[in-house]
């Protein structure tokens, strides 16, 4: 990176750090729009109707949730309460007390600790999504491919928001490292669990949430994050994961569809492709 660009980035980061996050608690937000109740039918398609070119869906379950402005209010309320809880925990004794507890009572160690760190890593989640997309594409499983793209969308949004908040807050972790709030491992793990919950119900969602909980516990246990980092990270992942999965639409940037990039056998890599049909 050129020196002038580095200086400009540091100036922008310093301005972001000067933002008074605690002052946001006094703000009031007005959401204008229609309150709706969205109903989703989840199932599988095995055949096309003989009477018309329409897919016949075998409905397996139904879900209902707030839609329109109601969904925005619900998400804002969840993030707002989680933000207030994070501020209270950080300004009070909760974060210090939890950190002291884990200093005295170490839960994980050795292989378990390292394994959970890898399992909860956003890099692992992006790589797993790329493999999911690749296998679905090779098998001609279009629903699976679309779900992989939806997972990619949720992970991309979660990582972008988490990274931006870390840059703004820029506080230290219990172990002295920087960029503590919110926990990226926790937000990404909960986002994955939330998407799986929407797609496959609690039979897959509950185990995924359990793994995400272990990841969050591990991040506090090893001194990588404060409890407040984990609380907001989990809420952020929940909101993004459920919201994106309910829309079940591919992420687009400037009209380009965002697709996983998994390289080749000769040059393996994980990233994103921007594709557009003309």
Give the confidence band of 140 by pLDDT, cuts at 50, 70, 90: confident
In a 10 Å sphere around its CB, with 0-12 CB exposed, 13-18 middle and 19+ buried, how is residue 74 labelled?
A: middle
Helix, coil or strand: residue 57 = strand
Give the confidence band of 207 by pLDDT, cuts at 50, 70, 90: very high
Give the confidence band of 157 by pLDDT, cuts at 50, 70, 90: very high
Q: Is the pLDDT of residue 227 over 90?
A: yes
Q: What is the DSSP letter of 258?
A: E
Alpha-helix runs per DSSP H in the chain:
3-17, 69-91, 94-104, 111-119, 122-139, 142-169, 184-200, 202-221, 227-247
DSSP string, 82-109: HHHHHHHHHHSSHHHHHHHHHHHS----
So what's the pLDDT on residue 92? Answer: 86
So what's the pLDDT on residue 107? Answer: 79
So what's the pLDDT on residue 21? Answer: 57
What kind of architecture, by CATH, is found in domain 70-275? Up-down Bundle (1.20)
83-137 pLDDT, tens digit per residue, is: 889 888 988 899 999 999 888 887 776 667 889 999 999 999 999 999 999 999 8
Give the confidence band of 206 by pLDDT, cuts at 50, 70, 90: very high
So what's the pLDDT on residue 248? Answer: 66
Average pLDDT for residues 199-227, to the nearest whole number?
A: 93
Round to whole Å and give the CA distance between 169 and 225: 14
Is the distance from CB of 241 to CB of 143 less than 8 angstroms?
no
36-79 pLDDT, tens digit per residue, is: 888 888 787 778 878 877 778 888 888 888 888 888 888 888 99
Q: Is the pLDDT of residue 166 over 60?
A: yes
Structure tokens at 237: 């992942």
**Mean of pLDDT over the chain:** 83
13-28 pLDDT, tens digit per residue, is: 566 556 555 565 567 7
Q: Is the pLDDT of residue 252 over 70?
A: no
pTM for the model stands at 0.75
Segments making up each domain of the chain, as ranges: 70-275
Q: Which among 55, 60, 67, 64 has a CA at the least distance from the CA of 42?
A: 60
């Amino acid at each position: 990176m050129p020196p002038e660009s580095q200086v400009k980035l540091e100036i922008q980061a310093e301005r972001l750090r000067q933002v008074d996050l605690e002052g946001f608690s006094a703000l009031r937000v007005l959401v204008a729009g229609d309150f709706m109740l969205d109903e989703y039918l989840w199932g599988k398609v095995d055949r096309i109707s003989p009477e018309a070119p329409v897919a016949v869906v075998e409905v397996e379950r139904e879900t209902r949730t707030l839609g329109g402005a109601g969904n925005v209010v619900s998400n804002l309320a969840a993030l707002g309460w989680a933000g207030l809880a994070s501020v209270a925990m950080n300004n009070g004794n909760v974060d210090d007390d939890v950190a002291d507890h884990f200093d005295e009572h170490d839960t994980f160690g050795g292989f378990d600790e390292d394994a959970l760190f890898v399992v909860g890593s956003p890099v692992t989640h992006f790589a797993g999504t790329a493999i999911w997309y690749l296998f679905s594409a090779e098998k001609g499983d279009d629903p699976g491919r679309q779900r992989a793209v939806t997972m990619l969308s949720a992970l991309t949004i979660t990582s972008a928001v988490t990274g931006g908040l870390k840059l703004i807050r820029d506080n230290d972790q219990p172990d002295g490292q920087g960029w503590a709030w919110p926990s990226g491992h926790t937000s990404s793990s909960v986002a994955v669990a939330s998407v799986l919950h929407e797609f496959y119900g609690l039979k897959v969602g509950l185990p995924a949430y359990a793994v995400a909980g272990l990841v969050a516990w591990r991040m506090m246990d090893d001194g990588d994050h404060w409890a407040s980092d984990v609380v907001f990270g989990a809420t952020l992942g929940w909101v993004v994961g459920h919201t994106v999965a309910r829309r079940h639409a591919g992420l687009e940037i400037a009209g380009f569809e965002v697709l996983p990039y998994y390289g080749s056998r000769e040059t393996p890599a994980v990233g994103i492709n921007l594709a557009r049909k003309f």
